[in-house]
Chain A
Amino acid sequence: MNTLYLEIAVVVLGIILLMVESYSASANKARLAWIGAIGLFGVLLLSFIPQHAPAPGSPAAAFITSDLLSVFFVRLILAATIVFLLTVPSFFPALRISLPAEREGGGLGEFAILPIFVCAGLMWMVSAVDFIMIFVSLELATITLYILATYLRQNTASLESGTKFLILGALSTGFIVYGISWLFGTTGTTNLLALPSAIAALPEAAVTPLLFGIGMILVALSFKISAFPFQFWVPDVYQGAPTPVTSYLSVASKAAGFVVLIRLLGALWAIPAVSHQIHAVITLLAALTLIFGNFAAIPQTNMKRLLGYSSVAHAGYLLMAVASLSSKMAVPAIGFYFAGYLAMTMLSFVVLQVVSEATGGDEISRFNGLGRRSPLLAGAMLLAAASLAGIPFTAGFIGKLLVFEVALKQGHYGLVALGCVTVAAGFYYYFKVIRAMYWQQPAEETSIAVPGALRFLIAVLGAAIIAFGVYPAPILAALR
């Protein structure tokens, strides 16, 4: 078994659901989301069968691998997609308003099926060891995400979000293809495994064009992981996209971008000719992303924009670990950070989805008095915000601790000092939400009903935040 079969299973599931959606007479589109979630859960279980990389020399081995990193992130992406699919049926009322449909339920089914194809694309992306494969899977995922971001067609914010995402996504695609062509032009290979030896054999004069190519690829990846100065699409796209899509964008798509970054840098880290410059660039990116993400989040009044800037800030902490990639603990730290990040970010988006459905808006003021209107939602948001800020006994705390520890051991004292300042800034803006929920007067006193599937998700994600925060060993063991 290698991860290729998991990805094929996901694609087959998506195609079957697409056929069922178009040829069955049933107007019950929620069923598709449940079947999709159950199917992906089956694939997630299959991933626990020991995975071996494809046999060396076989055609598959030139494109994908099944190492610890890829298996871990395949599971993470599957989990994120399952969460997405479970939130879809309760998002249908909001979809119906902004979706012109000729038939009853038209266009709803695809909202539950497209994420499955994104999932397959991202799974391939985290398993890929060849730039051609990385590029194709990246496109499968992002083109599908463009559709999902624009899904609320009669809502101008969603259209704006999709258009910006499409244009800037196309720009970053241009950067990555251009970078790959320079990389191929200088080294003669697109394979990441063959890259180190190909670079070692290069003459001195070829290093500059090589660095140019790597720089272009780094720009494109910075778009994907929303690192400063390529983060400007994040707040607008996050604000306009449907809430489940925003949540998915900030977790799964970013995770896949980070895995590609880790693989690329892992191939280049040991090469003295290029590692010095790349190291400096990543350190600078980490510092700028930390500063920008955290300080730009402070004045935000819209919850989705706040979470958008928060996702930029978390990219900064993750880049801190990427800058310390020579440490053996860096990759486990990133993996753990993402596991916690998935739970806390998706939990806050689930709460946001219910609150904006009930109150009709995404502003932080809509959370006013949530503690009285729905103790469950307020408690879940409290837990998520505490974890995002990094309070002890939550996954966010352990994640930040691991990242800081790795960075300290690699001598990034400046980054760690900066990280401490930005964590303090983080406390301020996450606690703004908590203050609104518990210390502000609600606009109305009616209680907010939470659909069953979302109540289940809140319980699971909340439990995960605390479980990872108290007992992080199993996750770290999965990557060591």
Chain B
Amino acid sequence: MEHSLDPYASLLIHIVSGVGFALTTWVGSLLLGRVGRATGVKNVPYECGMLPEPGPQPRFSVKFYLVAMLFILFDIEIVFLYPWSVVYREYLQQYGVEILGVLATFTAILFAGYLYAIRKGALDWSK
């Protein structure tokens, strides 16, 4: 059982050093950084001496949300095609035709979604 945990040791070191670094810098800045007086001007983000304009959280079009969602749907799901050809090589010998059929079905379903998105104007920027 001890040996089976070995691969996770590096993960543990990673977590410890990550949390440790964050804690050290945070505590360090708390201890060392409180020199002088804090004023409102000092807390403003530095923008070459000018007042930053506009505010730090600009409003953006909600269209981006739709694009982001379509991106996830089409781009990330296409990533699934890759492991099918690389990981299931032994299966490919035996069930090659079936796997091709599954792939084609998957792409066809995605394509139907694409057609739907086009028709509903989801990709139309002027709207």
The count of residues in chain A whose C-beta lies closer than 8 Å to any C-beta of chain B is: 7
In contact, B98 and A19 (Cβ under 8 angstroms): no
Query: A308 to nearest B CB, angstroms?
Result: 31
Q: How far is the CA of A23 from the CA of B117 in the complex (A)?
A: 11
B20-28, B60-68, B108-116 - interface stretch: B108-116
Q: How far is the CA of A59 from the CA of B88 in the complex (A)?
A: 12
Q: Does A296 have its Cβ within 8 Å of any Cβ on chain B?
A: no
Q: Does A453 have its Cβ within 8 Å of any Cβ on chain B?
A: no
In contact, B112 and A59 (Cβ under 8 angstroms): no
In contact, A22 and B119 (Cβ under 8 angstroms): yes
Query: B119 to nearest A CB, angstroms?
Result: 4
Interface positions, chain B 61-102, Cβ under 8 Å from A, are 91, 95, 98
| B88 nearest in chain A by CB position | A59
For residue A19, which residues in chain B have a CB less than 8 angstroms away from its CB? 112, 115-116
| A18 nearest in chain B by CB position | B116
Q: How far is the CA of A11 from the CA of B95 in the complex (A)?
A: 23
In contact, A15 and B109 (Cβ under 8 angstroms): yes
In contact, A23 and B112 (Cβ under 8 angstroms): no
Q: How far is the CA of A22 from the CA of B115 in the complex (A)?
A: 9
In contact, A23 and B119 (Cβ under 8 angstroms): yes
For residue A11, which residues in chain B have a CB less than 8 angstroms away from its CB? 109
Q: Does B120 have its Cβ within 8 Å of any Cβ on chain A?
A: yes
For residue B91, which residues in chain A have a CB less than 8 angstroms away from its CB? 59
Q: How far is the CA of A365 from the CA of B3 in the complex (A)?
A: 68
| A60 nearest in chain B by CB position | B98
In contact, B98 and A15 (Cβ under 8 angstroms): no
In contact, A22 and B116 (Cβ under 8 angstroms): yes
For residue A22, which residues in chain B have a CB less than 8 angstroms away from its CB? 115-116, 119-120
For residue B109, which residues in chain A have a CB less than 8 angstroms away from its CB? 11, 15
Interface of chain A, main secondary structure: helix
Interface positions, chain B 45-68, Cβ under 8 Å from A, are none
In contact, A15 and B95 (Cβ under 8 angstroms): no
For residue A59, which residues in chain B have a CB less than 8 angstroms away from its CB? 91, 95, 98
Interface positions, chain A 6-49, Cβ under 8 Å from B, are 11, 15, 18-19, 22-23
For residue B98, which residues in chain A have a CB less than 8 angstroms away from its CB? 59
For residue B112, which residues in chain A have a CB less than 8 angstroms away from its CB? 15, 18-19
| A16 nearest in chain B by CB position | B112
Q: How far is the CA of A59 from the CA of B99 in the complex (A)?
A: 10
Query: B28 to nearest A CB, angstroms?
Result: 35
Q: How far is the CA of A15 from the CA of B109 in the complex (A)?
A: 8
Q: Produce 1/0 per residue, A56-71, CB < 8 A to B.
A: 0001000000000000
Q: How far is the CA of A18 from the CA of B119 in the complex (A)?
A: 11
Central interface residue in B91, B98, B120, by most chain A CB within 10 Å: B120
Q: How far is the CA of A11 from the CA of B106 in the complex (A)?
A: 12
Q: How far is the CA of A18 from the CA of B109 in the complex (A)?
A: 11
Q: How far is the CA of A15 from the CA of B111 in the complex (A)?
A: 10
Query: B112 to nearest A CB, angstroms?
Result: 5
Q: How far is the CA of A11 from the CA of B115 in the complex (A)?
A: 16
| B99 nearest in chain A by CB position | A59
| A11 nearest in chain B by CB position | B109
For residue A18, which residues in chain B have a CB less than 8 angstroms away from its CB? 112, 116
For residue B95, which residues in chain A have a CB less than 8 angstroms away from its CB? 59
Query: B101 to nearest A CB, angstroms?
Result: 11
Query: B29 to nearest A CB, angstroms?
Result: 34
Q: How far is the CA of A59 from the CA of B112 in the complex (A)?
A: 26
Q: How far is the CA of A23 from the CA of B115 in the complex (A)?
A: 9
| B119 nearest in chain A by CB position | A22
Q: How far is the CA of A474 from the CA of B92 in the complex (A)?
A: 45
For residue B120, which residues in chain A have a CB less than 8 angstroms away from its CB? 22
Query: B22 to nearest A CB, angstroms?
Result: 25
| A14 nearest in chain B by CB position | B112
Q: How far is the CA of A11 from the CA of B108 in the complex (A)?
A: 12
Query: A259 to nearest B CB, angstroms?
Result: 25
Query: B36 to nearest A CB, angstroms?
Result: 44
Q: How far is the CA of A450 from the CA of B119 in the complex (A)?
A: 36
Query: B13 to nearest A CB, angstroms?
Result: 22
Q: How far is the CA of A19 from the CA of B115 in the complex (A)?
A: 8
Q: Produce 1/0 per residue, B10-46, CB < 8 A to A.
A: 0000000000000000000000000000000000000
Query: A251 to nearest B CB, angstroms?
Result: 27
For residue A15, which residues in chain B have a CB less than 8 angstroms away from its CB? 109, 112
Q: How far is the CA of A19 from the CA of B109 in the complex (A)?
A: 11
For residue B116, which residues in chain A have a CB less than 8 angstroms away from its CB? 18-19, 22
CB pairs A–B below 8 angstroms (14 shown)? A11-B109, A15-B109, A15-B112, A18-B112, A18-B116, A19-B112, A19-B116, A22-B115, A22-B116, A22-B119, A22-B120, A23-B115, A59-B91, A59-B95
Q: List the 5 shortest-distance A-B pairs measured between CB atoms, nearest first.
A: A22-B119, A15-B112, A22-B116, A18-B116, A23-B119
Beyond A19-B116, A59-B95, 8 extra complex contacts between A and B, CB < 8 Å: A15-B112, A18-B112, A18-B116, A19-B115, A22-B116, A22-B119, A22-B120, A23-B119
Interface, chain A (partner B; CB < 8 A): 11, 15, 18-19, 22-23, 59
Interface, chain B (partner A; CB < 8 A): 91, 95, 98, 109, 112, 115-116, 119-120
